[in-house]
Amino acid sequence: MAVKNVQDLINDGVEGRYVLVRSDFNVPLNDNREITDAGRINASLPTLKALSEAGAKVIVMAHLGRPKGEVNEKFSLAPVAEALSEALGQYVALASDVVGEDAHERANGLNDGDILLLENVRFDPRETSKDEAERGAFADQLVALTDEGGAFVSDGFGVVHRAQASVYDVAKRLPHYAGGLVEKEITVLHKVADEPAKPYVVVLGGSKVSDKLGVIEALAPKTDTLIIGGGMCYTFLAAQGHNVQESLLQEEMIDTCKKLLDTYGDKIQLPVDLVAAEKFDKDAEKKIVDLDGIPAGWMSLDVGPETVKKFAAILHDAKTVFWNGPMGVFEFPAFADGTRGVAQAIIEATANGCFSVVGGGDSAASVRTLGLNEEGFSHISTGGGASLEFLEGKTLPGVAVLSE
């Protein structure tokens, strides 16, 4: 990637300088506001440590959830500040606002090596505004927290596909650098997109065909096999004429799926059995059925054991794998076997020399939720949407701006 990185910034001399860092701390919380998956926080640590140890005055920008431009305690970054402090082994203060009085006072009081976390940038509606002038005004206020020697480091890969103030507009106003995380993500994804070792297998799951249509159309010509599971597989099965009963279905996408099957039928691999459930509930009665065996009024919440065997056999010989989307409702233990089985097959392929990438989002969450070995994959991305858009060939504004 032809952009300057964090090491370039450190080599230029960063001691005593303010550095704005855009991280991605959009982590899942439970009802007690406890972080249930700290993967994105852990991924941010190397860049923050490097800057702190080099003596920078670090100000971190991040968001959590969708507060829709309003201050909402439910989406406060307080749990993140606490987790970050513990992970870094140093106190990370949280400003009570984004660009207000408290943020300025705390920024002015930073010593070399200190780290300050601003409150959720999406508490300000200008962060995600479509109006460039509005975003620019907000970016100016963020930049005002630094001084003449300020710099910007983009390290939130999960947001680089968005032209938002803290991602894009700040980069236009300060000397800018790619953080270690963003640099690594782009390098890995280039390897998958540009020079995948064959056989190249893409595994897609998740709920909606419409969410993955772009990546299916972009990757199908390049792959040897396209495995489809999760909620989106039921629309494909319906396109083949199967009765999926109450399973998740996008009726408006059935014709699209028919066309994809006509065009890439030799590459697309679908389930051969399913795990049906009486209702959408973790304790629902379940049974393994064939593709037309879902009882009336029931739904499928996972792929079946024969499907796992079929997919695992394909993955066994793969040399490159990109996986985005679980095979079923992995959050319910009774319906997690499909996702676990496919993930385990990818881990085994990786041990045999396959280059495997988990494309962020629910896939990454499932790896941790199911207690699988994260080291068993070549790379686990922190950005689901960003990784998909990259592989679709779309321009990622937060990456493109770093080349300017």
Residues 6+ apart with CB under 8 A from 51: 6, 9, 10, 14, 19, 21, 58, 153
Cis peptide before 199 (omega within 30 of 0): yes
Q: Does the annotation flag 66 for ligand binding?
A: yes
Q: Does the annotation flag 25 for ligand binding?
A: yes
Q: Does the annotation flag 26 for ligand binding?
A: yes
Choice among 231, 361, 384, 398 that is catalytic = 361
Q: How many CA atoms are closer than 13 Å to the CA of 362, on its beta-carbon side? A: 17
208 in active site: yes
Q: Does the annotation flag 322 for ligand binding?
A: no
Q: Does the annotation flag 109 for ligand binding?
A: no
Q: Does the annotation flag 267 for ligand binding?
A: no
The answer to whether 386 touches 161, Cβ cutoff 8 Å, is yes
Q: Does the annotation flag 8 for ligand binding?
A: no
Q: Does the annotation flag 384 for ligand binding?
A: no
The answer to whether 236 touches 272, Cβ cutoff 8 Å, is no
Q: Does the annotation flag 290 for ligand binding?
A: no
Choice among 325, 341, 385, 398 that is catalytic = 385
Q: Does the annotation flag 65 for ligand binding?
A: yes
Q: Does the annotation flag 40 for ligand binding?
A: yes
Choice among 17, 40, 184, 267 that is catalytic = 40
Choice among 208, 258, 287, 319 that is catalytic = 208
Q: Does the annotation flag 311 for ligand binding?
A: no
361 in active site: yes
Q: Does the annotation flag 360 for ligand binding?
A: yes
CA 3 to chain CA mean position, Å: 22
Q: Does the annotation flag 63 for ligand binding?
A: yes
191 in active site: no
Q: Does the annotation flag 353 for ligand binding?
A: no
Residue ranges of the annotated binding site for (2R)-3-phosphoglycerate are: 40, 122, 162
Binding residues for substrate: 24-26, 40, 63-66, 122, 162
* Catalytic residue numbers, as ranges: 40, 208, 361, 385
Binding-site residues for ATP sit at 212, 331, 360-363
What residues form the annotated binding site? 24-26, 40, 63-66, 122, 162, 212, 331, 360-363
